[in-house]
């Protein structure tokens, strides 16, 4: 029985298709691209711009820090969306190759068990992330309805007066549409704030952990090749293996553009810098 190599990612791919970020080759590709641009320009990009307008209009440091972290998260999301638009074919082709190419076919029970274990771990991480995200959005949009004043679930600056009954519902329902499309966060209550911090840390930790695993696995490849039954290979294949082992002397690393290597060291550095910045803002606010 053939095992689906990308079984753990198919639900995420389906979500990306719904929000216009999975450009597979179909006869209606231009229509799908139009849908993607309209959805994210009117929701993700416009919503982020209005968040930054609220940052600029912040009247005191407390409000500024209250809004700033969310605005930075949204700004990072715009970069992700732009990257997906630019490299969409590369993403789709990678997963199609992983799913269909005979090179990546699992050839025995040991490989299938290992792959299933990895997918199971990924499934738990994805479930935890989406559960916390849905909890954040739900608590944010339900919690403000019980407020005595007009309060938006997430601070942003609509281009109209929203502190009245009619304007508030326009701003509320626009955010209800834009926020799930863009990102799942919520700073409205202490409990929700804690979940928001956990979600953001998880967003950083998962790619850093996977990047670190790639570095470690590439280092282990050298020993794996050496202990393989390479004596049974032809002289030509042995030469290729020697060349490949020499190439593996330099570990394979994932980089974020030309900025930094993605791994656990950058995660630790990010957490340290975040704590230092938070301590600075708290001291300035005293």
Per the structure, the count of domains in the chain is 1
Q: What is the chain's Cα-based Rg?
A: 23
Task: Report the length, in residues, of the chain.
Answer: 286
pLDDT of residue 42: 86
Q: Which domain holds residue 265?
A: 192-286
CA dist 161 to 115, 158, 171, 179, 238, Å?
Answer: 54, 7, 9, 20, 73
Residues 77, 182: Cα–Cα separation, whole Å: 7
pLDDT single digits (tens) 164-174 = 877 878 887 78
Please report whether residue 171 resides in a domain. no
pLDDT of residue 181: 60
Please report whether residue 284 resides in a domain. yes
184 pLDDT exceeds 50?
no
Closest-CA residue to 278 (of 52, 58, 66, 77): 66
Angle separating helix axes 190-226 and 235-247, nearest 10 degrees: 140
Q: What is the pTM of this model?
A: 0.59
pLDDT single digits (tens) 136-145 = 677 777 777 7
Closest-CA residue to 69 (of 219, 233, 197, 212): 197
């Amino acid at each position: 029985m053939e095992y689906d190599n990308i079984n753990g990612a198919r639900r995420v791919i389906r979500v990306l298709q719904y929000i216009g970020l999975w450009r597979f080759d179909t006869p209606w590709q231009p229509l799908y691209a139009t849908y993607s641009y309209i959805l994210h320009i009117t929701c993700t990009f416009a919503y982020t711009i209005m968040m930054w307008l609220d940052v600029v209009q912040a009247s005191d440091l407390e409000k500024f820090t209250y809004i700033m972290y969310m605005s930075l998260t949204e700004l990072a999301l715009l970069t992700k969306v732009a990257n997906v638009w630019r490299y969409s074919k590369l993403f789709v082709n990678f997963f199609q190759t992983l799913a269909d190419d005979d090179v990546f076919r699992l050839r025995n029970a040991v490989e299938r068990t290992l792959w299933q274990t990895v997918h199971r771990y990924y499934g738990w991480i994805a479930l935890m992330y989406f559960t916390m995200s849905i909890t954040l959005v739900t608590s944010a949009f339900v919690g403000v309805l019980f407020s005595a004043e007009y309060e938006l679930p997430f601070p942003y600056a609509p281009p109209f007066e929203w502190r009245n009954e009619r304007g508030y519902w326009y701003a509320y329902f626009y955010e209800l549409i834009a926020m799930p499309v863009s990102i799942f966060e919520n700073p409205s209550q202490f409990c929700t704030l804690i979940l928001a911090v956990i979600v953001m840390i998880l967003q950083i930790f998962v790619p850093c952990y996977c990047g670190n695993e790639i570095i470690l696995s590439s280092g282990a490849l050298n020993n794996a090749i050496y202990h393989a039954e390479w004596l049974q290979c032809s002289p030509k294949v042995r030469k290729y293996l020697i060349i490949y082992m020499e190439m593996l002397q330099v570990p394979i690393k994932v980089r974020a553009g030309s900025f930094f290597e993605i791994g656990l060291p950058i995660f630790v550095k990010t957490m340290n810098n975040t704590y230092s910045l938070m301590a600075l803002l708290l001291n300035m606010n005293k």
